[in-house]
Structure 1
Amino acid sequence: MMQTSLFINGGWLEDTADKLTITNPATGDVIATVASASEKETQLAVDAAFNALNDWSKRPAKERSVLLKKLYHKMLEEQDEMAHLMTKEMGKPLEEAKGEVAYAASFVEWFAEEGRRVYGRSIPGGAEDQRFQVIKQPVGVVAAITPWNFPAAMITRKLAPALAAGCTIVIKPPSATPLTALMLAKQCQEVGIPNGVVNIVPASSKAFSNVIMKSDKVRKITFTGSTEVGKMLMKQAADTMKNLSLELGGHAPLLVFDDADVTRAVDQAVASKFRNAGQTCICANRIYVQAGVYDEFVDQFVKKVATLSLGNGLEGNDIGPLIDKDGFEKVVDQVNDAKEKGAVVSTGGEGYQDGGYYYMPTVLTNVDESMAIMHDETFGPVAPIRKFEEEDEAIRLANETPFGLAAYFFTKDVSRGTRVAEQLEYGIVGWNSGAPSAAEAPFGGMKESGIGREGGMEGIEAYLETKYISLKL
């Protein structure tokens, strides 16, 4: 069994009063104990980041870029080891975990390059002796709170742009999956990122937030998680007017129109819905299929889903366990609610406990808007399918939610596709694609799905302040 420590100011601190017990969700076996930061240790991490800020922010962008490139290569060199660790602590299939490591590393590579393209500008003055200049500077110390479902990528999407911009960072990984984060800390240390620039402190939410929200040293909060917690953080951040980036909950619709390539739509819908056992913020949560291809789509979709294997992610299965009992029970409750209200289970529909909590890949048909699954994020391997008649109806149904993170649609008609893409109230839209995420592109939502963007050129802007300088000669 592993024993791991906090990573603060380039050192490893194990002697804490509280410990986290980390279990393998596939088996229930304890795989590690991890030091848990109190307010005292969290404050040490904030102080370390603050003390490192002056030196790090003044280093040339090229120097920061070189170190991030080294981290990128280090992650790829240790891809198999990191993926294996991730599967053990989180449960996702090993091949998915390998893919996540590559995806996480892509953000490090992208922002290593983007950090060298932080541009200001000169503006013509209003008089002969006036000069106007705009410069970009790092926002300061960043506190990052990340979720368990992507233990590597949700960190590098924050860490990489922060470091590239010249910020230092304190990261609270989730209590369920801190091991991948601590391995990332070790990699940062090994490639020469200076002490205090990156600090990783597994901690209770209360201990962490009590320190960072009150601290005037922390100038930015970046959070990925539930809308409920995001709203709470937004209120708490108001007292010190902290800069905020919030990537919150979703309830993604997937629309299939009569003129779609049905086979492609099925393949992409399965990939979107069942990746990570449906435990992703942008997976297709509800599927709407136009009447003309409804039967064909359902037939192909059910057959494909029925072939997905369920079991331990280290044993070559397509679907791994759910993260814990609470996640499992939410899926069970949603399926039972749908069945009680008339939904038909076309495949799956059952779960079991075998060391971990498993739920069969499931397809529900004959669903309607009275069912909880059509309104509440499922975070499980269940796909409800509803028929629609007209384009306007599909767009209305897709937008009838407070969330606006991701949406998908399938059509060969460019005119229709343009109309639909522009009318969907979502920050990310996949057109004939179920996997839109990329380091080069902005990731984030509208409405109650968050504030700000990660990735793309927008991703580094979230870690910069704009300063205007007016010079009179």
Structure 2
Amino acid sequence: MYPELGLLIDGEWISGLERDAIVVRNPATGAPIGELPVATVQDIDRAAEAAQKAFPVWRGITALDRGRVLARIATILRERTAELSAILTLEQGKPLREAAAEIAATADSFEWMGEEGRRVYGRVVPSRFADAEQLVVHEPIGPVAAFSPWNFPAILGGRKIAAALAAGCTIVLKPAEEAPGILVAIAKICESCGVPAGVINLLFGVPARISQRLIERPEIRKLSFTGSTPVGRHLSGLAGAALKRITLELGGHAPVILCEDADLERALQLGVAAKFRNAGQVCNCPTRFYVHEKVFGEFCERFSQLARNLVVGDGLEEGVHMGPLIHERRVRAMREYTEDAVAGGGEILCGGDAPSELAASLQDGTFWAPTVIALAGNEARVLREEPFGPLALMQPFSDLDEAIGRANGSDYGLAAYAFTQSLKSARRIQERIEAGCFSLNTFAITPPELPYGGVKQSGFGREMGSEGLLEHFQTKAVIRAV
């Protein structure tokens, strides 16, 4: 079921040979599932050179034909959903139904970007000279270096590939070493659908070595990174020194404002599902719930009960609602955040430890129970730092302006949510909330047709949507005299 892992450089799949290797493990059991070769400096250089060599070939294919290739990729992804979902769950841990939803979203991204690539229109600008015409044209920027994380490896890596290919660019992608198999499988599907050698290159290994070397390479013209804010800040400095364009999708700490008139049942059902999806390892997942004081008690009690009823276990097993965290470091972080919040006056309403009911076969897995903490003090680390795990924080408010101020009181600004039946309140929150993405009465936030990205320490630039596609082009002004 699990693919043979390797580097992809200029159409050649490279296994371990004499390279160092990283053991890939199933986070639910700790069992090894594969060995991942570590790219050498020579591998990195070859990948950049291959992307440059393939660029004029891929750019020369019409947008219509590139779109047809991406449509074929989307079709194969959908046809092989069961197989790909199993790979994703085995290496990343999320339940199979969540993995299947991620594969579907990845297919949607390829399909939509392939169609949107045909609609990258320039402009004809009325000329001030009678014998000349003025044009604005968009041209593919060139080879892209992209870095994607482990929490949603298929969609976050896949949409970087899709956008680059739709724009006529080539790509060197470094996925996360924790969950490499799904991108290996997707790259092989791309090859089978007619993507030429060198258009997609995959590297794995030491992240700092790969990123620094790729940024230094003259062939690379743009960078795209999804990951933590500290790493994004470092890469931004390297890209700035090299005068290379960069798109950063970084951390989040999403607030939810629940007004007195909100549909409580809807907010509860959707809120629990969104908070504990992928064990809370989601950059846009709701974390800070600011609930009107008149419904605070009821909301906390019912939210905690729903969270308590979630089944935690191996994502490959039927009936499991939440899988493991990706590794032991995340478990330690959950424990530290929980203990700190309690020390500052917070009350654990459910969870707060590893689930005690897990089978003996899962004792080596990295599990943490869905946890709800109410009334943590303002100095609690988890209110300032992204927990990236199954922790929900409940805070009451009495005034909407107060709630908006507290929601904006974070260095992050990726996603935000609100529940209210009042158009006036909705407009007020929408206009004042500091976030790149805002959803009202829903937690849906990332369809491929909308731009995705954050403000403040959550990054800059956008992925997906026409805005994300245009980040893969450079703009040229043309004056043509006759």
Q: Give the TM bin, normalised by the shorter chain.
A: over 0.9
Deviation at 1:447, TM superposition (A): 0.9
1:388 aligns with 2:390: no
2:403 counterpart letter in structure 1: A
Question: Secondary structure of 1:355's match?
Answer: coil
Deviation at 1:366, TM superposition (A): 2.2
d(CA) in 2 for partners of 1:305, 1:98: 22
Deviation at 1:199, TM superposition (A): 0.8
From 363, 367, 370, the counterpart of 1:358: 367
- Map of 1:70-109 to 2, 5 A cutoff? 70-109=72-111
Matched with 1:431 is: 440
Question: Secondary structure of 1:144's match?
Answer: strand
Deviation at 1:228, TM superposition (A): 0.5
Preserved CA contact (<8 Å) 1:67 1:192: yes
Matched with 1:7 is: 8
TM-superposition CA deviations, 1:41-71 (whole Å, max 9, x none): 1111111110000111111101101100010
1:338 aligns with 2:341: yes
2:104 counterpart letter in structure 1: A
Deviation at 1:207, TM superposition (A): 2.5
Matched with 2:263 is: 261
d(CA) in 2 for partners of 1:188, 1:40: 24
TM-superposition CA deviations, 1:53-93 (whole Å, max 9, x none): 01111111011011000100111111111110011101111
Matched with 2:450 is: 441
1:218 counterpart letter in structure 2: I
TM-superposition CA deviations, 1:189-214 (whole Å, max 9, x none): 11111111111111211321232111
Matched with 1:174 is: 176
d(CA) in 1 for partners of 2:252, 2:461: 15
Question: Secondary structure of 1:249's match?
Answer: coil
Matched with 2:415 is: 406
2:50 counterpart letter in structure 1: A
- Map of 1:184-195 to 2, 5 A cutoff? 184-195=186-197
Deviation at 1:338, TM superposition (A): 0.8
Matched with 1:225 is: 227
From 334, 349, 354, the counterpart of 2:352: 349
Question: Secondary structure of 2:153's match?
Answer: coil
Matched with 2:462 is: 453
Deviates more, 1:86-95 or 1:1-10: 1-10
2:395 counterpart letter in structure 1: R
d(CA) in 1 for partners of 2:423, 2:105: 30
d(CA) in 2 for partners of 1:3, 1:170: 20
Q: What is the TM-score with the length of structure 1 in the denominator?
A: 0.98
The percentage of counterpart residues that share the same residue type is 39
Matched with 1:55 is: 57
TM-superposition CA deviations, 1:199-253 (whole Å, max 9, x none): 1111211321232111111000000001100110011012321111000011100
d(CA) in 2 for partners of 1:244, 1:210: 14
d(CA) in 1 for partners of 2:211, 2:465: 28
Deviation at 1:16, TM superposition (A): 4.4
Matched with 2:376 is: 367
d(CA) in 1 for partners of 2:169, 2:387: 35
Preserved CA contact (<8 Å) 2:212 2:238: no
d(CA) in 1 for partners of 2:386, 2:281: 10
1:439 counterpart letter in structure 2: P
Deviation at 1:104, TM superposition (A): 1.0
d(CA) in 2 for partners of 1:12, 1:145: 19
d(CA) in 2 for partners of 1:273, 1:16: 43
Preserved CA contact (<8 Å) 1:144 1:223: yes
d(CA) in 1 for partners of 2:30, 2:435: 37
More strand by share: 1
Deviation at 1:2, TM superposition (A): 5.9
Matched with 1:281 is: 283
Matched with 1:46 is: 48
Cα separation, partners in 2 of 1:467 and 1:2, compared to 1, 3 Å: closer
Matched with 2:29 is: 27
Deviation at 1:459, TM superposition (A): 1.6
TM-superposition CA deviations, 1:104-124 (whole Å, max 9, x none): 111001001000001001111
2:352 counterpart letter in structure 1: G
Preserved CA contact (<8 Å) 1:254 1:269: no
1:6 counterpart letter in structure 2: L
Matched with 2:332 is: 329
Deviation at 1:409, TM superposition (A): 0.6
Deviation at 1:98, TM superposition (A): 0.5
Query: Structure 1 runs of 4+ off > 3 angstroms?
Result: none
Question: Secondary structure of 1:21's match?
Answer: strand
1:377 aligns with 2:386: yes
d(CA) in 2 for partners of 1:399, 1:22: 39
d(CA) in 1 for partners of 2:19, 2:302: 54
TM-superposition CA deviations, 1:314-359 (whole Å, max 9, x none): 1131111111111111111000111111111111111167111111
d(CA) in 2 for partners of 1:307, 1:434: 21
d(CA) in 2 for partners of 1:3, 1:71: 20
Preserved CA contact (<8 Å) 2:3 2:185: no
Matched with 2:116 is: 114
1:12 counterpart letter in structure 2: W
Question: Secondary structure of 2:216's match?
Answer: coil
Q: In structure 2, list runs of 5 or more residues that go unmatched.
A: 356-361
Matched with 1:470 is: 479
Q: What is the TM-score with the length of structure 2 in the denominator?
A: 0.96
Matched with 1:415 is: 424
Q: In structure 1, list runs of 5 or more residues that go unmatched.
A: none
Preserved CA contact (<8 Å) 1:2 1:33: no
Cα separation, partners in 2 of 1:16 and 1:190, compared to 1, 3 Å: farther
Matched with 2:358 is: none
d(CA) in 2 for partners of 1:398, 1:315: 37
d(CA) in 2 for partners of 1:69, 1:103: 13
Preserved CA contact (<8 Å) 1:224 1:246: yes
d(CA) in 2 for partners of 1:71, 1:180: 14
Question: Secondary structure of 1:223's match?
Answer: strand
1:330 counterpart letter in structure 2: A
d(CA) in 2 for partners of 1:70, 1:433: 32
Deviation at 1:427, TM superposition (A): 0.4
d(CA) in 2 for partners of 1:456, 1:402: 25
